């Protein structure tokens, strides 16, 4: 399992459009993707769950990826969260 705390660098945080882009990126991988913030946890492939975290710019979220292509998924999703885009 790949796991790290990541600071959200997306200008709009994980609101509608960035959350949709995150979910689209996460869905490219077979690995299970989870995000956690403030005691709440979300399936990284569910836009509603990701948006419900309410992660704005500068928020710390825990990113986890587990499964066959977890290293690639973790690297791509971490870069996205840090503001690197999809």
Q: Which residues are catalytic?
A: 15
User: Rounded to 5 degrees, what are φ and ψ at 37?
Assistant: -155, 130
48-60 as b/e, with b when 16 or more CB fall inside 10 Å?
ebbbebebeeebe
- Do residues 34 and 82 make contact, with C-beta atoms less than 8 angstroms apart? no
- Please provide the size of the chain in residues: 86
């Amino acid at each position: 399992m790949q796991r790290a705390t990541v600071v959200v660098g997306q200008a709009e945080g994980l609101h509608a459009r960035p959350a949709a882009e995150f979910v689209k990126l996460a869905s490219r991988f077979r690995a299970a993707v989870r995000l956690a913030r403030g005691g709440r946890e979300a399936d990284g492939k569910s836009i509603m769950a990701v948006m419900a975290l309410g992660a704005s710019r500068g928020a710390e979220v825990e990113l986890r990826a587990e499964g066959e292509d977890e290293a690639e998924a973790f690297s791509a999703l971490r870069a996205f969260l840090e503001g690197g885009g999809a």
